[in-house]
Structure 1
């Protein structure tokens, strides 16, 4: 059975349940169930290698003891299953006792369930979902890694799941950024708004070829760090990291901006930072005071850029996704942040992405900023990411692909100006009052002849995008 078919079967069952409203709730419901099944499979491995291993989950609440249908008529279903989940399983997991001595791989169960809910109201349908999940054996290496396909399906659904769409960064983008940052075993790697863990997973995959000993794997695990504020992406990230054999993920469910940046010491800094900071959001006054007065902003992307600068080690390197708005602002906080960035860091490359990379969540054009803490910026190289032939922009049905970054990769270590690449001196940047929104000088504006059908299609897409944005804003207001 294909993974896509499995996901569709689960979604079709959940759509019959009156308690599950929309894609975001379906995904949340599916993922807490997946987490418990995956965790149980990992516990089987931990028990095999450690005869003294003790589960933090009470025996009767472990997946193997209540979720598996032995076809003997004793499996929980209907009202009995609902009563068990709502009145025994959830209250117990939310109230697990953990402290500073608790193993991280055990404590994560409590952290996961602090903000998770059972939305299903039909115990018979819940049993059907559980039975479908039990068709996958996560103790088997091949099936465990097939979760990547499940995960990709879930992430694609997240793109149109209301205000959850903000958590998704296309995998080709995370892989390209990581490949350009070239993390090495022994280096510390962080994402302070880790969402579903895309950058951390890409970093693990990149370093796999460097692993020579079991200690190398432990070193990777010890040096990965993430923070995520919202419960659904946190749950997704935890589940995926565990399936990538990161048994004790250094992933916190917290707000990265809640600590005063001036309090960070050397041990709080990282060699590599890769991020897609949330933008368009706002932060309260209590958060803003954690930043220097000239960098206090309500815009989350501004605050995260400042945070990155305070948490990057000497000689460290960063890759950050930011919208055009950050580039072209020439006054206020954004200018102050860019002034600090260019005077204290080497912003060596800006890759300009075309429209639609984050479709359907937003059509806002974005940029990949690469900088390191090796001294001030002397010049910035720009690279205009070319669209595939015949494309006017990326869309949900025509997403960006990893192989489309080959032109940047081929150019990266042998930089020359061409139709897509140009460089700008720091003097010109200063003359422009730190406006970094510099268009490709080789690109001529072409008057586009369009048919009526093409215009109507564009209007439809813009209308859909606007409706989606209204849905996001309504979701934020409801929260």
Structure 2
């Protein structure tokens, strides 16, 4: 088969294509808002990209066998301009999507048939007009994915659409990690080609994309790039983020992503240890609750409904058997100060791993969706060292919090990156933002990690509710004492 001619699609042209596509979708009665429109465009773009990359593999790999019969490949049905209206909807709804859901692969990681089946297991066409559907397909067919420059440009545009998706999803309680924070975390954990990297709450794949970019930057060989691709793993529970994650990875050059749609917590800790990895980087959901059957996967004395605590245990299990095991986990403030089941889980953490750094994030990192103060726990396989370092990331000068229009920037982490001390973390010193606490003191205090910067005055953002209430009660008692004294003086004066 001869290669079809390709032309580089400029960013301006791609932007125009996406704009027209979204305008077309706005006219369809079956789509309501970005939470409907973006997934609709995503799964169509996925099929287009998949077919283009398959065509490339057919040309470069003599024994490559396409995952789909010709009838179901994008080039066949999308390229048939006579297929429109009700016949087009009948084909897509009655033949294409059912066929994708029934594909059977080998079960091995990265098999394209298994990938397609998982991606489209819960995918539905929500458009009601077959004529508008044809307009949308014709627009998206203009994008070329066989040109690497086009893929790079499309990836950037896709990320901008994901941000809009995240803005819309924020109203539903979904909080996505800002890209500058993701990049900083990945840089500190430093995954390398040949290591397995897992995000057990992958969302739309931000951590995995950044990890792959980190492992393949600079002068890397084709073999190292292949190892980096093979080492990327993800798990996502919800269908919509799962589809977006697959698309995101595909656009960033991971053409056979090892990402599955399931609940990461639906396995015993023993199973998680057996299916271990070298690196875990994640921002798991917090504030949610898991059902009893999921809680039963964890030891009785460490069972809880709170997802953040279960994910922390799952992360520990995943890296427990790797000689280079290391992790970074975003957690809410409640994880730091909890002394109940949380205290027991932190005791487990500091008895089996080296909790070396607690990064205290400034207020509003996840604004405008939530103002819950957050932190990042960095730990690694090995004996707990005598001290735990804390670093309080400051707000930019003159700012009180981040907002949607003025979000966090990567450059703000420059001082922390310099202080970090490289892979060995040698040479760390106490600064206005960094201090260390003896591990024995943390243990004696019930594994409370909600510790304030000794160089700062009062900091309400990172104070625990218990501490705040205790101080409020003390203040009220002091005020009551002053009022009682004033009352006595007034009575004495009246006599």
TM-score range, shorter chain: 0.7 to 0.9
Distance 1:172 1:247, change over 3 A: same
Structure 2 counterpart of 1:21: 32
The correspondence for 1:194, drawn from 202, 210, 231, is: 202
* Residue in structure 2 matched with residue 327 of structure 1 by the alignment: 336
- Asked if 1:54 is matched to 2:65, the reply is yes
SS in 2 for 1:325: helix
Q: Which runs of 5+ in 2 are unaligned?
A: 1-11, 422-426, 461-495
Report the CA distance between 1:326 and its aligned residue.
0.6
Q: CA deviation at 1:259?
A: 1.0
Counterparts of 1:303-318 in structure 2, within 5 Å, are: 303-312=310-319, 313-318=322-327
Deviation at 1:392, TM superposition (A): 0.9
Q: 1:75 to 1:170 in 2, by over 3 A?
A: farther
Q: 1:248 to 1:377 in 2, by over 3 A?
A: same
Q: Which residue of 2 aligns with 1:245?
A: 253
| Match among 409, 432, 435 for residue 419 of structure 1 | 432
Quick check: 187-196 or 203-212, which moved more?
A: 203-212
What is the CA deviation profile of residues 308-357 of structure 1, one whole-angstrom value per residue up to 9, with x for unaligned ones?
Answer: 111112341111100111111112x1111111111221111111111221
Identify the residue that residue 96 of structure 1 maps to in structure 2: 103
Alpha-carbon deviation of 1:77? 2.2
**Alignment-derived partner of residue 35 in structure 1:** 46
Q: Which has the larger radius of gyration?
A: 2
Give the deviation of 1:411 after TM superposition.
Answer: 0.8
Name 1:146's counterpart in structure 2. 153
User: Unaligned regions of 5+ residues in structure 1, if any?
Assistant: 448-479
Deviations 1:259-307 (A, max 9, x none): 11123445x2222111111111111111111111111110111101001
Is contact 2:358–2:389 with CA below 8 Å preserved after alignment?
A: yes
2:174 aligns to what SS in structure 1?
Answer: helix
Q: Deviations over 1:203-261 (max 9, x none)?
A: 11111136643221221122221111111111111122222332221111111111111
Q: Which residue of 2 aligns with 1:401?
A: 409
State the TM-score, normalized to the length of structure 2: 0.85
CA distance in 1, matches of 2:413, 2:126: 41
How far apart, CA to CA, are the structure 1 residues paired with 2:458 and 2:146? 56
Would the alpha carbon gap of residues 406 and 75 (structure 1) be closer, same or farther in structure 2, given more than 3 Å must change?
Answer: farther
Tell me whether 1:178 sits opposite 2:191 in the alignment.
no
Asked whether the equivalents of residues 321 and 369 of structure 1 are also in contact (C-alpha less than 8 Å), the reply is yes
Q: CA RMSD in A?
A: 2.0
Q: How many residues align?
A: 441
Q: In structure 1, what is the equivalent of residue 89 of structure 2?
A: 82
| Distance change in 2, residues 1:115/1:427 (3 Å) | same
The residue that corresponds to 2:120 in the other structure is 113
The partner residue of 2:447 within 411, 416, 434 is 434
Q: 1:93 to 1:320 in 2, by over 3 A?
A: same
Task: Work out which of the residue numbers 227, 232, 239 in structure 2 matches 1:219.
Answer: 227
Q: Is the 8 A contact 1:159 1:361 kept in 2?
A: no
8 Å contact kept, 1:178–1:199: yes
1:5: how far off? 4.4
Shift of 1:49: 0.9
Whole-angstrom CA distance in 2 between matches of 1:232 and 1:154: 14
1:341 correspondence with 2:341? no
Shift of 1:168: 2.3
After TM superposition, which residue ranges in structure 1, 4 or more long, deviate above 4 angstroms?
Answer: 2-5
* CA gap 1:225/1:103 in 2 versus in 1, 3 angstroms: closer
- CA distance in 1 between counterparts of 2:395 and 2:117 reads 45
Q: Aligned match of 1:353 in 361, 364, 369?
A: 361
Indicate how the Cα distance of structure 1 residues 167 and 251 shifts in structure 2: closer, same or farther if over 3 A, else same.
farther
